Amino acid sequence: MEEAPRFYAHPFDDDKLKEECGIFGVIGVTDASNFVALGLHALQHRGQEAGGIVCHDPELGFNSARRFGYVRDNFTSADIMETLPGPLAIGHVRYSTAGSKAAVIRDVQPFFGEFSMGGAAIAHNGNITNALALRKELIERGSIFQSSSDSECIIHLMARSLQKDIPDRMEDALRRVEGAFSVVAMTRTKLIGVRDPLGVRPLVIGKVADGWVLSSETCALDIIGAEFVREVEPGEMVVISAAKGVESRRPFRPQPSKFCIFEHVYFSRPDSIIGGQSVYETRRRIGVELAREAPVDADLVCPVPDSGTPAAIGYSQESGIPYAMGIIRNQYMGRTFIEPTEQIRNMGVRLKLNVNRALIKGKRVILVDDSVVRGTTSRKIKEMILDAGAAEVHFRIASPPTAWPCFYGVDTPQREKLLAATMSEDEMREHLNVDSLRFISLDGLYRAAGEPEGRNNACPQYCDACFSGEYPVEPSDMVAKGFQLKTAAE
Ligand code: SF4
């Protein structure tokens, strides 16, 4: 069994929530796999551990390639791309915890199944919250799983369906599945996209020449010159074919949408459009809201790069305090597959971020970051800023305290490892040893995300479970394992 190279997240990356997947599919263009490779490259921020492409050629049938590592290091070589011909292809990039912890190639998507009416491949972004129960049931009834991924349940549920065609079988399968899922799938002649009834994870439709595209984000449409058509709606299935174009189906009972609000804060690329809103602009508005909610006298507003940048710009614009690049990020110190020596690992955040000393010395600095997860990075950044001679350090955070884990396709530490799960805001300020620490309120975040009245507490407009502890779908597998949901008193 092929195993992943030994893989080390940089300590800086290790202190962030991580999106687990990006998905992309194309139909109706020559060499669709090349378009998919480019799309996956643009979605690389959603998963860097591995990627895969499945394609179909009318003469050669289905083919696939799955590899560990970056898209650019695998799906640019002629050796691989020449094996992936045809006008229809789907792909997946992953960073995963839903599959096995020790990454193995059999967990890398897309997954493929051969049915009596032909083959089908699926790529899934999200997390199936009843996957353990489904897997147990399916294994007891004779299914033989090839991977440890929750997504494989969908293929086995499709195999058990009595429906006559693959889209109908997918409908059957997905009605048994709970949790968050955006799916891109393909048959020999159709490209299929589905979002779960709450629409937790994104999926958009694009048009390129005579073909159609499905993508996690609009930034990946731009790279192939595709035009944004619309989002797949929560609870919608689109079946796209050369003969009939886009057909829309509604397999699920309608429910109020619960899109992941953290996509606005951090996961999506700032050049993507979500719900008609620019992600960059939403992040800038978060900074504006933060400046109104948590003003402080200071000399400079500095982002923790790169994700804190738009919010820092908004904070500066609203407060009138000058914006400055007080911390510089080394763009070339990404994740590494080479085991670093202990000495290098101890350099920690300094490998990735450096303080612009000439700017910081003697200044009262407001640092704007997107989130505080474990707090380890925030502490180190504060030390670097003070070492550089800053007079004061004030943290402003562009999301509310992250006090609950996500079970919908985002890698989160266990609850007890989340700083906000065990400390009050004041205790966190003392722990980080900064002059002040403020988080944006949930209402402020909702306003920035396009809800002028703030959060509707009776029926929140977004999923915000990692802040509020209010899970829109009960994480039943985790509850069965003993996870404590929020009590009425909390
Ligand atoms: S729990 Fe947080 S990260 Fe997960 S889907 Fe909800 S808002 Fe997004």
For residue 240, is pLDDT > 90?
yes
Residue closest by Cα to atom 2 of ligand 1:
466
Please tell me the predicted confidence (pLDDT) of residue 284.
98
State whether the beta carbon of 449 lies less than 6 angstroms from ligand 1. no
Closest atom of ligand 1 to 464 CA is: 7
The stretch 64-74 carries a mean pLDDT of 95
Contact criterion met (CB below 8 Å) for 286 and 311 = yes
The stretch 160-167 carries a mean pLDDT of 95
Which residue from 275, 261, 262, 151 is spatially nearest to 217, judged by alpha carbons? 275
The stretch 244-260 carries a mean pLDDT of 97
Spatial neighbors of 61 by CB under 8 A, at least 6 apart, are 119
Please tell me the predicted confidence (pLDDT) of residue 192.
98
- Taking each helix axis from N to C terminus, what angle separates 309-319 and 279-293, rounded to the nearest 10 degrees? 50
Contact criterion met (CB below 8 Å) for 47 and 22 = yes
Please tell me the predicted confidence (pLDDT) of residue 99.
47
Work out the pLDDT band at 97, boundaries 50, 70, 90. low
- Number of other residues whose CB lies within 10 A of the CB of residue 164: 9
The stretch 405-414 carries a mean pLDDT of 89
For residue 396, is pLDDT > 60?
yes
- Is 21 designated active site? yes
Over the stretch 305-364, which tens digit does the pLDDT of each residue have?
988 999 999 999 999 999 999 999 887 655 443 445 555 555 667 777 889 999 999 999
Q: Are both 18-258 and 278-329+348-471 of the same fold?
A: no
Please tell me the predicted confidence (pLDDT) of residue 466.
96
For residue 228, the CA-to-ligand 1 centroid distance in Å is: 25
Residue closest by Cα to atom 8 of ligand 1:
260
- First and final CA of the chain: distance in angstroms? 46
CA distances from 68 to 5, 79, 82, 122, 230 (A): 8, 16, 19, 18, 32
Contact criterion met (CB below 8 Å) for 464 and 404 = no
Q: Which residue did the predictor score with more confidence, 275 or 103?
A: 275
For residue 4, is pLDDT > 50?
no
For residue 439, the CA-to-ligand 1 centroid distance in Å is: 17
Domain locations along the chain: 18-258, 278-329+348-471
The stretch 193-216 carries a mean pLDDT of 97
For residue 127, is pLDDT > 50?
yes
Please tell me the predicted confidence (pLDDT) of residue 98.
47
For residue 376, is pLDDT > 90?
no
Q: Which residue did the predictor score with more confidence, 7 or 83?
A: 83
Contact criterion met (CB below 8 Å) for 208 and 225 = yes
Point out the annotated binding site: 260, 307, 369-370, 406, 463, 466
For residue 159, the CA-to-ligand 1 centroid distance in Å is: 31
Residue closest by Cα to atom 5 of ligand 1:
260
Predicted structure pTM score: 0.93
Q: Give CATH superfamily name and number for 18-258.
A: Aminohydrolase, N-terminal nucleophile (Ntn) domain (3.60.20.10)
Please tell me the predicted confidence (pLDDT) of residue 391.
97
For residue 119, the CA-to-ligand 1 centroid distance in Å is: 33
Helix (H) or strand (E) holding 229: strand 227-231
State whether the beta carbon of 406 lies less than 6 angstroms from ligand 1. yes
Residue closest by Cα to atom 4 of ligand 1:
406
- Taking each helix axis from N to C terminus, what angle separates 166-175 and 152-160, rounded to the nearest 10 degrees? 110
DSSP 263: I
The stretch 265-285 carries a mean pLDDT of 96
Query: Could you give the percent of the chain with pLDDT greater than 70?
Result: 92
Please tell me the predicted confidence (pLDDT) of residue 362.
96
Domain 278-329+348-471 in CATH 3.40.50.2020? The answer is: yes
What span, in angstroms and rounded, lies between the C-alpha atoms of 415 and 410?
13
Point out the annotated binding site for [4Fe-4S] cluster: 260, 406, 463, 466
State whether the beta carbon of 81 lies less than 6 angstroms from ligand 1. no
Pocket test for ligand 1, best of 463, 473, 474 (most atoms within 8 A of CB): 463
Please tell me the predicted confidence (pLDDT) of residue 335.
47
Query: Which segment of 81-90, 134-143, 183-192, 480-489 scores lowest on mean pLDDT?
Result: 480-489
Beta bridge partners of 394: 366, 436
State whether the beta carbon of 19 lies less than 6 angstroms from ligand 1. no
For residue 472, is pLDDT > 60?
yes
Point out the annotated binding site for Mg(2+): 307, 369-370
Closest atom of ligand 1 to 405 CA is: 1
CA distances from 455 to 93, 100, 410, 443 (A): 32, 36, 22, 5
Query: Which segment of 159-168, 203-212, 237-246, 407-416 scores lowest on mean pLDDT?
Result: 407-416
Handedness of CA 6, 9, 10, 11 (dihedral sign): negative
State whether the beta carbon of 121 lies less than 6 angstroms from ligand 1. no
For residue 465, the CA-to-ligand 1 centroid distance in Å is: 6
Q: Which of 21, 153, 219, 302 is catalytic?
A: 21
State whether the beta carbon of 266 lies less than 6 angstroms from ligand 1. no
Outline where 361-424 has alpha helix (H): 376-387, 419-422
The stretch 97-104 carries a mean pLDDT of 58
For residue 181, is pLDDT > 90?
yes
Half-sphere exposure for 322 (CA within 13 Å, toward CB): 9
The stretch 50-64 carries a mean pLDDT of 97
For residue 143, is pLDDT > 60?
yes
* Averaged pLDDT of the chain: 91
State whether the beta carbon of 261 lies less than 6 angstroms from ligand 1. yes
Pocket test for ligand 1, best of 258, 262, 399 (most atoms within 8 A of CB): 262
Please tell me the predicted confidence (pLDDT) of residue 489.
74
The stretch 158-171 carries a mean pLDDT of 96
